[in-house]
Structure 1
């Protein structure tokens, strides 16, 4: 007796970590032609591509934010831009990203907490965290210098 399978094939859903790893392994070109999360991650990986450690820091940040269930941050391309700016200074971090613990329920609070964790040994005015939402890397570097206790003038 021959039986036929009537099972309906289930589409395989790719998880966010799979998406990040797949995009990390490909050689993306920096053109931002869409509003999807995948387009944003692809664009910033390409933009950070000049230095492999920046791309690695971006991947680590994204995966850690996912592990800590910061889904509101990861759904918004504008917040992905902030994460990319944090990764651009991955070699200036005073603490590893993997040690960061979520202490806020809002996406903005979570990003501010990540910025403080990664770059601030000393108190820095809160308004300076907004520098990471902009494109001026000099302002971001000033935040980092203040957070380390260094002179901004130097």
Structure 2
């Protein structure tokens, strides 16, 4: 097995661990857990590059963003299922999903960070 294949497998394991941690953290709030499952499913289908975010000290910023958006489910003004998705990298994908869920007006790209 090549080095690049091992790296990809390692990153997938780290991503799976981050998803597991998010499920465990959200387990205390069943509604947030349900929303996380919905957001995760939608992101897998419509923004697969979101899962390519680099993992720093065991934290996966893409998964953490999905978990945080799920925690603030009461602020959502649109359903997740209506999000068109994106083929962009993980940061624009998170920004696009957050704008879809909670923004009434267009937000300039420089404010998305």
Specify the alignment match of 1:64 in structure 2. Answer: 42
**Structure with larger Rg:** 1
Instruction: Describe the superposition over 1:35-55 as per-residue Cα deviations: whole angstroms up to 9, x where unpaired.
Output: 712211111111122211101
d(CA) in 1 for partners of 2:34 and 2:20? 13
Are positions 1:37 and 2:20 aligned together? no
Q: Deviations over 1:64-96 (max 9, x none)?
A: 01111x222124322111111111111220000
Farther-moved stretch of structure 1 (39-48 vs 112-121):
39-48
Once the two structures are TM-superposed, the CA of residue 100 in structure 1 deviates from its matched residue by 0.1
Structure having greater relative contact order (Cα 8 Å, sep ≥ 6): 2
- Larger relative helix fraction: 2
Cα distance, 1:107–1:121 mapped onto 2, change above 3 Å:
same
Structure 1 runs of 4+ with >4 Å offset: 125-128
2:92 maps to 1:109? yes
Question: May I ask how many residue pairs the two structures share in their alignment?
Answer: 95
User: Residues of 2 paired with 1:129 and 1:58: CA distance?
Assistant: 21
Give 5+ residue unaligned stretches, structure 1. 1-34, 131-154
Structure 1: how far apart are the matches of 2:110 and 2:16?
Answer: 30
In the alignment, is residue 119 of structure 1 matched against residue 102 of structure 2?
A: yes
**Using a 3 Å threshold, how does the CA distance of structure 1 residues 75 and 106 change in structure 2: closer, same or farther?**
closer
1:122 Cα deviation from its structure 2 partner: 2.0
TM-score (normalised: structure 2): 0.72
